[in-house]
Amino acid sequence: MKFELLGLNPEILKAVEKKGYKKSTPIQEKSIPAILNGKDVLGGAQTGTGKTAAFALPILNNLYEKKHAGNAPRALVLTPTRELAEQVGESFINYGKFLDLTTIKIYGGVKINPQITNLKAGTDIVVATPGRLLDHINQGTINLREIEILVLDEADRMLDMGFIRDIKKILKVLPAHRQNLLFSATYGKDIKQLSADVLRNPVFIEVTKRNTAAEKVNQIIYRIEKGQKRHLLAHLIKEEAWYQALVFARTRHGANRLARQLDKSGIPATAIHSDKTQSARTRAMNSFKKGDLQVLVATDVAARGIDLQDLTHVVNFELPQVPEDYVHRIGRTGRAGKSGTAITLIAPEDRAQLQKIEKILKYSIPEARAKGFKPVFEQVEGRSGSRGEGGRREKKGKTNKRPSTNSAPGKKGSDNTRKFRPKRRG
């Protein structure tokens, strides 16, 4: 649908046009009119669906239409990670650039004093992570009594990361009468409870089916001994001439080690995780975006807020602890209408976790074999199309129903013909 039909202010439409968006995405089409009407919204949407603009545009519109003389913030957006706060804050700044509205980003890992100075000067919108926001609340350096609109972005992640108590403390200092928007990729028991506590007669908007993996992602698993994983990964990256990959490791230590090993084998790689400073993370992200880095190895927490367009490959070097995170992870590729590949490396000890993931997906992920790498087969029960006999044909997908894919497993160069050409580093 054209943005002009959604009821937005011409100044906002101008910013949208400048961003180059031609049409609204489904979540935007449904959320924007509801939010403009002052409704509470429960949005089931993953990153990559355009959900940030789906709430940022109508919020800017509402604040602009009801101008206000005070200097306390009127909209508060809570996000699970610093990266996401940074990214959402930038979106508000960008979409609101022709309006007389200001946005401040509040997150940890950076000095608090500049944030205090900015808050004193006044702002319309605050985008914050719960921890640092609470620091400001406790120090009395933020006034949240004028908040008219609250957004809980990626609420499921905030709960996974243990922010529920912080969120509850924050809710206590907000005015009771306000508009509430809650976005979540999954809709488990805890999210239902939080929605019931926070939202009033919400409009329920869901753009991808709950817990379904992105349809444009070509998913493949390789069964391999744990010790062989890194060799197989390096082999696939080189052999299939991947452009870039986001690789998920379970621990910070593991992420560091893998990045070092890949780097040694001639694949420019860096790890990002919560032990790294904010500026180190930003630097790594930027060089990845510029194409100086071929592989970013990340833990789930660090990867959550990353917005990478054109990501061709996502790799589950290790499976996530929370099965739902598999869906979050692979949603990093195949975004904005493009197709992508998600590779999962399964060692015998990962089997139980894989079964949990496939239960959520409701289908079995197809398998592939790589030349020169001995797959590890073990007796598998209860998987449809089960093998267990130790002799499957190469690159054969299991037959259970799954979303259609755009390229065959293991297809050379996949459907992305770009080649990684490292620039001079240093």
Give the Cα separation of 236 and 143 in Å (integer). 52
How many residues would you count in the chain? 426
User: Does 21 interact with ligand AMP (rule: CB under 6 A)?
Assistant: yes
Shortest Å distance, C-beta 78 to ligand AMP: 15
User: Does 170 interact with ligand AMP (rule: CB under 6 A)?
Assistant: no
Shortest Å distance, C-beta 25 to ligand AMP: 5
Residue number, 19 or 264, with CB nearest to ligand AMP: 19
Give the closest residue to 396 by CA, choosing from 404, 385, 406.
385
DSSP state of 367: B
Give the closest residue to 224 by CA, choosing from 412, 350, 410, 361.
350
Shortest Å distance, C-beta 94 to ligand AMP: 9
Residue number, 50 or 202, with CB nearest to ligand AMP: 50
Please give the distance of CA 19 from its chain centroid, rounded to a whole number: 20
Shortest Å distance, C-beta 149 to ligand AMP: 17
User: Does 25 interact with ligand AMP (rule: CB under 6 A)?
Assistant: yes
From the list 17-25, 62-70, 72-80, 282-290, the region that binds ligand AMP by CB under 6 A is: 17-25
User: Does 5 interact with ligand AMP (rule: CB under 6 A)?
Assistant: no
Across the strands, what pairs with 184? 44
Tokens matching residue 25: 């995405």
Shortest Å distance, C-beta 378 to ligand AMP: 39
User: Does 336 interact with ligand AMP (rule: CB under 6 A)?
Assistant: yes
Residue 274: partners with Cβ closer than 8 Å, 6 or more residues away:
252, 299, 301, 302
From the list 47-55, 285-293, 296-304, 371-379, the region that binds ligand AMP by CB under 6 A is: 47-55
User: Does 81 interact with ligand AMP (rule: CB under 6 A)?
Assistant: no
The binder of ligand AMP chosen from 6, 8, 24, 207 (CB under 6 A): 24
Residue 362: partners with Cβ closer than 8 Å, 6 or more residues away:
401
Residue number, 32 or 245, with CB nearest to ligand AMP: 32
User: Does 375 interact with ligand AMP (rule: CB under 6 A)?
Assistant: no
User: Does 52 interact with ligand AMP (rule: CB under 6 A)?
Assistant: yes
User: Does 49 interact with ligand AMP (rule: CB under 6 A)?
Assistant: yes
Residue number, 25 or 115, with CB nearest to ligand AMP: 25
User: Does 51 interact with ligand AMP (rule: CB under 6 A)?
Assistant: yes
Contact (Cβ atoms closer than 8 angstroms) between residue 222 and residue 343: yes
Tokens matching residue 408: 């065959």
Residue number, 32 or 128, with CB nearest to ligand AMP: 32
Give the closest residue to 76 by CA, choosing from 174, 185, 208.
174
Burial label for 359, CB within 10 Å (0-12, 13-18, 19+), is exposed
Give the Cα separation of 283 and 181 in Å (integer). 32
Across the strands, what pairs with 149? 75, 179
- Contacting residues toward ligand AMP, per CB under 6 A: 21, 24-25, 28, 47-53, 307, 309, 336
